Amino acid sequence: MRTCFLYKVLLRLYYQRALKSNYDKLKGDFIVSKNFGSKPYLFPMPTYMIGTYNEDNTPDVMMMAWGGICAEDMVALNLEADHKTVANLKSRKAFTLAIPGADTIKESDYLGIVSSNKVANKFKNSGLSYIESQLVDAPIIVQYPVTLECEVVEMQQQPYGLRVLGKIVNVRADDKVLDANGNIDVAKINAFVFDQVKYGYYSIGEKIGQAWHSGADLLKNK
Protein backbone atom coordinates (compact mmCIF):
# COMPACT_ATOMS: atom_id res chain seq x y z
CA MET A 1 0.00 0.00 0.00
CA ARG A 2 2.75 2.41 1.05
CA THR A 3 4.93 1.45 -1.97
CA CYS A 4 2.00 1.97 -4.28
CA PHE A 5 1.39 5.48 -2.87
CA LEU A 6 5.07 6.35 -3.19
CA TYR A 7 5.09 5.05 -6.78
CA LYS A 8 2.11 7.26 -7.65
CA VAL A 9 3.72 10.33 -6.09
CA LEU A 10 6.95 9.70 -8.01
CA LEU A 11 5.02 9.15 -11.24
CA ARG A 12 3.17 12.41 -10.69
CA LEU A 13 6.42 14.29 -10.11
CA TYR A 14 7.86 12.72 -13.26
CA TYR A 15 4.93 13.76 -15.42
CA GLN A 16 4.78 17.24 -13.93
CA ARG A 17 8.49 18.07 -14.02
CA ALA A 18 9.99 15.99 -16.85
CA LEU A 19 7.08 16.16 -19.30
CA LYS A 20 5.49 19.39 -17.99
CA SER A 21 2.24 17.45 -17.77
CA ASN A 22 -0.92 17.58 -15.71
CA TYR A 23 -1.73 14.63 -13.51
CA ASP A 24 -5.40 14.97 -12.59
CA LYS A 25 -7.60 12.60 -10.65
CA LEU A 26 -11.10 11.57 -11.76
CA LYS A 27 -13.01 8.95 -9.73
CA GLY A 28 -9.78 7.28 -8.62
CA ASP A 29 -8.22 7.25 -12.12
CA PHE A 30 -5.36 9.46 -13.14
CA ILE A 31 -5.62 11.51 -16.31
CA VAL A 32 -2.33 12.64 -17.78
CA SER A 33 -2.28 15.63 -20.10
CA LYS A 34 0.14 18.27 -21.27
CA ASN A 35 -0.23 22.06 -21.56
CA PHE A 36 1.17 23.75 -24.67
CA GLY A 37 0.39 27.35 -23.72
CA SER A 38 -1.14 29.77 -26.19
CA LYS A 39 -0.75 28.19 -29.65
CA PRO A 40 -2.91 28.13 -32.81
CA TYR A 41 -3.50 24.41 -32.40
CA LEU A 42 -6.81 23.46 -33.97
CA PHE A 43 -7.15 20.48 -36.23
CA PRO A 44 -8.22 20.18 -38.96
CA MET A 45 -7.36 23.52 -40.54
CA PRO A 46 -8.73 24.00 -44.06
CA THR A 47 -6.68 24.52 -47.19
CA TYR A 48 -8.20 27.11 -49.51
CA MET A 49 -6.74 28.99 -52.46
CA ILE A 50 -7.29 32.76 -52.81
CA GLY A 51 -7.24 33.96 -56.42
CA THR A 52 -6.73 37.64 -57.33
CA TYR A 53 -5.40 39.71 -60.22
CA ASN A 54 -2.09 41.53 -60.17
CA GLU A 55 -1.94 45.05 -61.67
CA ASP A 56 -0.85 43.58 -65.05
CA ASN A 57 -3.97 41.32 -65.03
CA THR A 58 -1.98 38.12 -64.45
CA PRO A 59 -3.41 35.91 -61.69
CA ASP A 60 -1.95 35.53 -58.22
CA VAL A 61 -3.04 32.59 -56.09
CA MET A 62 -2.08 31.90 -52.47
CA MET A 63 -2.79 29.07 -50.03
CA MET A 64 -4.81 29.99 -46.93
CA ALA A 65 -5.61 28.00 -43.81
CA TRP A 66 -6.68 30.69 -41.35
CA GLY A 67 -10.21 31.43 -42.37
CA GLY A 68 -13.50 30.16 -43.69
CA ILE A 69 -17.24 30.74 -43.59
CA CYS A 70 -18.26 33.46 -41.10
CA ALA A 71 -21.89 34.09 -42.13
CA GLU A 72 -24.45 32.53 -44.48
CA ASP A 73 -23.03 34.38 -47.51
CA MET A 74 -19.68 35.59 -46.13
CA VAL A 75 -16.12 34.38 -45.74
CA ALA A 76 -13.31 35.70 -43.52
CA LEU A 77 -9.66 35.62 -44.58
CA ASN A 78 -6.94 36.22 -42.00
CA LEU A 79 -3.95 37.49 -43.92
CA GLU A 80 -0.42 38.79 -43.49
CA ALA A 81 -0.62 42.41 -44.64
CA ASP A 82 2.50 42.23 -46.83
CA HIS A 83 1.21 39.48 -49.15
CA LYS A 84 0.76 40.47 -52.81
CA THR A 85 -2.75 39.06 -52.48
CA VAL A 86 -3.59 41.81 -49.99
CA ALA A 87 -2.43 44.56 -52.38
CA ASN A 88 -4.55 42.91 -55.09
CA LEU A 89 -7.58 42.71 -52.81
CA LYS A 90 -7.24 46.42 -52.04
CA SER A 91 -7.10 47.42 -55.69
CA ARG A 92 -9.60 44.96 -57.27
CA LYS A 93 -12.01 44.47 -54.34
CA ALA A 94 -12.67 40.88 -55.43
CA PHE A 95 -11.27 37.36 -55.14
CA THR A 96 -12.03 33.71 -55.63
CA LEU A 97 -11.71 31.16 -52.84
CA ALA A 98 -11.24 27.63 -54.12
CA ILE A 99 -11.04 24.19 -52.55
CA PRO A 100 -8.05 22.31 -53.96
CA GLY A 101 -8.19 18.56 -54.49
CA ALA A 102 -5.34 16.28 -53.42
CA ASP A 103 -4.37 15.90 -57.09
CA THR A 104 -3.07 19.51 -56.97
CA ILE A 105 -1.22 19.28 -53.63
CA LYS A 106 2.15 20.03 -55.27
CA GLU A 107 0.95 23.11 -57.16
CA SER A 108 -1.16 24.35 -54.23
CA ASP A 109 1.67 24.06 -51.72
CA TYR A 110 3.97 25.91 -54.16
CA LEU A 111 1.41 28.74 -54.25
CA GLY A 112 1.69 28.89 -50.45
CA ILE A 113 5.49 29.06 -50.50
CA VAL A 114 6.19 31.67 -53.18
CA SER A 115 5.03 35.30 -53.25
CA SER A 116 4.18 37.29 -56.37
CA ASN A 117 6.05 40.12 -54.64
CA LYS A 118 9.25 38.22 -55.41
CA VAL A 119 8.44 35.87 -58.31
CA ALA A 120 6.68 37.62 -61.19
CA ASN A 121 5.73 34.33 -62.88
CA LYS A 122 4.41 32.67 -59.72
CA PHE A 123 1.11 31.47 -61.15
CA LYS A 124 2.60 30.52 -64.53
CA ASN A 125 5.29 28.48 -62.76
CA SER A 126 2.61 26.48 -60.94
CA GLY A 127 1.47 25.02 -64.27
CA LEU A 128 -2.19 25.65 -63.40
CA SER A 129 -4.56 27.47 -65.74
CA TYR A 130 -7.40 29.95 -65.28
CA ILE A 131 -10.45 31.49 -66.83
CA GLU A 132 -11.96 34.90 -66.00
CA SER A 133 -14.89 35.00 -63.62
CA GLN A 134 -17.92 36.62 -65.27
CA LEU A 135 -19.20 37.77 -61.88
CA VAL A 136 -16.23 39.19 -59.98
CA ASP A 137 -12.90 40.73 -60.96
CA ALA A 138 -10.84 37.62 -60.14
CA PRO A 139 -9.53 34.45 -61.80
CA ILE A 140 -11.12 30.99 -61.56
CA ILE A 141 -8.48 28.28 -61.42
CA VAL A 142 -9.59 25.52 -63.74
CA GLN A 143 -8.01 22.61 -61.83
CA TYR A 144 -9.84 23.46 -58.56
CA PRO A 145 -13.24 21.69 -58.45
CA VAL A 146 -15.16 24.17 -56.25
CA THR A 147 -14.74 27.95 -56.32
CA LEU A 148 -16.48 30.70 -54.37
CA GLU A 149 -16.62 33.96 -56.34
CA CYS A 150 -16.43 36.80 -53.81
CA GLU A 151 -16.46 40.57 -53.45
CA VAL A 152 -14.45 42.34 -50.73
CA VAL A 153 -16.84 43.86 -48.21
CA GLU A 154 -14.46 45.02 -45.51
CA MET A 155 -10.74 44.99 -44.69
CA GLN A 156 -10.31 45.15 -40.94
CA GLN A 157 -6.83 46.09 -39.69
CA GLN A 158 -7.03 44.80 -36.14
CA PRO A 159 -4.37 44.74 -33.40
CA TYR A 160 -3.94 40.99 -33.99
CA GLY A 161 -3.81 41.08 -37.80
CA LEU A 162 -5.65 41.83 -41.00
CA ARG A 163 -9.06 40.27 -41.57
CA VAL A 164 -10.77 40.51 -44.95
CA LEU A 165 -14.50 39.91 -45.12
CA GLY A 166 -15.87 38.80 -48.47
CA LYS A 167 -19.42 38.32 -49.74
CA ILE A 168 -20.04 35.11 -51.67
CA VAL A 169 -21.61 36.09 -54.98
CA ASN A 170 -21.63 32.58 -56.44
CA VAL A 171 -20.41 29.03 -55.83
CA ARG A 172 -19.15 27.35 -58.96
CA ALA A 173 -18.60 23.57 -59.00
CA ASP A 174 -17.20 21.31 -61.70
CA ASP A 175 -19.60 18.80 -63.17
CA LYS A 176 -17.26 16.02 -62.05
CA VAL A 177 -17.93 16.72 -58.32
CA LEU A 178 -21.73 16.70 -58.66
CA ASP A 179 -23.96 13.80 -57.62
CA ALA A 180 -26.90 12.38 -59.59
CA ASN A 181 -29.18 15.13 -58.19
CA GLY A 182 -26.84 17.93 -59.21
CA ASN A 183 -25.63 18.69 -55.68
CA ILE A 184 -21.97 18.95 -54.70
CA ASP A 185 -20.71 15.57 -53.46
CA VAL A 186 -17.91 16.63 -51.09
CA ALA A 187 -16.32 13.18 -51.23
CA LYS A 188 -15.62 13.78 -54.92
CA ILE A 189 -13.66 16.97 -54.19
CA ASN A 190 -10.93 14.86 -52.57
CA ALA A 191 -10.04 17.82 -50.35
CA PHE A 192 -7.15 17.80 -47.90
CA VAL A 193 -6.64 19.52 -44.57
CA PHE A 194 -3.69 21.19 -42.85
CA ASP A 195 -2.08 20.31 -39.53
CA GLN A 196 -0.97 23.52 -37.81
CA VAL A 197 1.16 21.58 -35.28
CA LYS A 198 3.58 19.70 -37.54
CA TYR A 199 2.61 21.26 -40.90
CA GLY A 200 1.33 18.04 -42.48
CA TYR A 201 -1.39 17.72 -45.10
CA TYR A 202 -4.00 15.01 -44.49
CA SER A 203 -6.57 13.55 -46.81
CA ILE A 204 -10.15 13.48 -45.57
CA GLY A 205 -11.56 10.05 -44.85
CA GLU A 206 -14.95 8.49 -45.37
CA LYS A 207 -18.29 9.80 -44.14
CA ILE A 208 -18.89 8.64 -40.54
CA GLY A 209 -22.12 10.34 -39.50
CA GLN A 210 -24.88 12.80 -40.27
CA ALA A 211 -24.92 16.28 -38.71
CA TRP A 212 -27.87 16.96 -36.38
CA HIS A 213 -28.63 13.21 -36.40
CA SER A 214 -25.59 11.37 -35.03
CA GLY A 215 -26.22 12.77 -31.53
CA ALA A 216 -30.01 12.54 -31.62
CA ASP A 217 -30.15 9.40 -29.42
CA LEU A 218 -28.88 11.45 -26.48
CA LEU A 219 -31.85 13.83 -26.70
CA LYS A 220 -33.85 11.33 -24.61
CA ASN A 221 -31.49 11.87 -21.61
CA LYS A 222 -33.29 14.20 -19.19
Residues 39-98 that bind ligand FMN (CB under 6 A): 47, 60, 62-67, 78-80, 83-85
The dihedral sign for the CA sequence 91, 92, 97, 101 = negative
Give the residue with the Cβ less far from ligand FMN, 103 or 185: 103
Q: What are the backbone dihedrals phi and psi of residue 118, each rounded to the nearest 5 degrees, phi first? A: -110, -35
Q: How many residues bind ligand FMN (CB under 6 A)?
A: 22
| Minimum gap (Å) between residue 133 Cβ and ligand FMN | 18
Residue 117 interacts with ligand FMN (CB under 6 A)? Answer: yes
Q: Report d(CA 202, CA 160) in Å as an integer.
A: 28
Residues 154-183 that bind ligand FMN (CB under 6 A): none
Q: Which of 116, 126, 133, 147 binds ligand FMN (CB under 6 A)?
A: 116
Geometric angle at alpha carbon 35, from 33 and 41, rounded to 5° = 110
| Minimum gap (Å) between residue 61 Cβ and ligand FMN | 8
Give the residue with the Cβ less far from ligand FMN, 100 or 145: 100
End-to-end CA distance of the chain: 41
| Minimum gap (Å) between residue 25 Cβ and ligand FMN | 39
Q: What are the backbone dihedrals phi and psi of residue 2, each rounded to the nearest 5 degrees, phi first? A: -65, -40
Q: Which stretch binds ligand FMN (CB under 6 A): 13-21, 114-122, 133-141, 152-160?
A: 114-122
Binding string, residues 118-137; x marks residues near ligand FMN by CB under 6 A: ----x---------------
DSSP per residue over 23-52, as a string?
A: EEEETTEEEEEE---S----SPBP-EEEEE
Q: In the complex, which residue's CB is closest to ligand FMN? A: 112
Q: Report d(CA 5, CA 87) in Å as an integer.
A: 63
Based on its alpha-carbon atoms, the radius of gyration of the chain, rounded to whole angstroms, reads 23
| Minimum gap (Å) between residue 34 Cβ and ligand FMN | 25
The dihedral sign for the CA sequence 160, 161, 166, 172 = negative
Binding site for ligand FMN (CB under 6 A): 47, 60, 62-67, 78-80, 83-85, 109, 112, 114-117, 122, 194
